Structure 1
Amino acid sequence: MIAAMKVIESGTFAPAVDGSAEYVEHVRVPALSFGTYSIPAGQPDDQVPHAEDEVYAVVSGRGRFTSGGTTVEVGPGVSLFVPKGEEHRFHDVTEDLTVLVFFAPPYSGRG
């Protein structure tokens, strides 16, 4: 449990060492968790529906996002809400994406 403010270094907003998409959790408290999701241009987003509601806030990059049968263009400043259990993914990533991700309740893992 976090008892005080936490500063999150922006250097942690990066894809995995092998260049694939990567989610990194930075904060976990009883009500929610927060992390960053980095997807390099041209790489797939292989996530599966989650057991938690989530909010994405795109910090940098460009691509498309599909959820619930709707596809939208995404870029800096775009925020998205996805209800738990809904199939969704980023795709057609043309510029490396950095996305802030908030889960409520805290993220429980894949599948």
Structure 2
Amino acid sequence: MPVIRVKEQENSFPSWSEIHHYGINHLKVGQEVPLHYHDSNEYWIIVSGRGICTTEGDTYEIGPGDMVLTKKGDEHSLVVTEEMTAIYMYGVLPPGGKIGYLYRNKQSE
């Protein structure tokens, strides 16, 4: 069983892993994560704090112990209402997939 260190995780996951990236976020009250999507599934576990997230067109109040699961390609956003700490993980990228926040051009849809 390998141990992956957050600062050394690039290309460190074994081929059988369903995760390709993870981290811990500390978010301030009022901080907003704008509407975006990813080329992989994303998982957030809320350790402390509260927020309002929108995913798959539905809005949820989230807090400690909650897990937010977002499918690849689904747009989602977050507004922090109480200082938050969360662990996030990204699933495996498909061939040609991009890492990070991706945005749709609403004018072209």
| Runs (5+) with no aligned partner, structure 1 | 9-24
The aligned counterpart of 2:56 is 68
Root-mean-square deviation (CA, aligned residues, Å) is 2.4
Larger radius of gyration: 2
Is the contact between residue 41 and residue 94 of structure 1 (CA under 8 Å) also seen in structure 2? Answer: yes
Offset of 1:39 from its aligned partner?
Answer: 1.8
Q: CA deviation at 1:36?
A: 1.7
What are structure 2's unaligned runs of at least 5 residues? 103-109
Structure 2 Cα separation of the partners of residues 96 and 49 of structure 1: 23
- TM-score, with length taken from structure 2: 0.71
TM-score (norm: length of structure 1) = 0.69
Alignment size in residue pairs: 92
- Aligned partners of 1:26 and 1:36 also within 8 Å: no
* Structure 2 residue aligned with 1:110: 101
* 1:44 aligned residue: 32
CA contact (8 A) 1:39 1:45 kept: no
After the TM superposition, which segments of 4 or more aligned residues of structure 1 sit over 4 Å from their partners?
none
Instruction: Report the CA distance between 1:47 and its aligned residue.
Output: 5.5
Q: Give the % identical residues.
A: 28
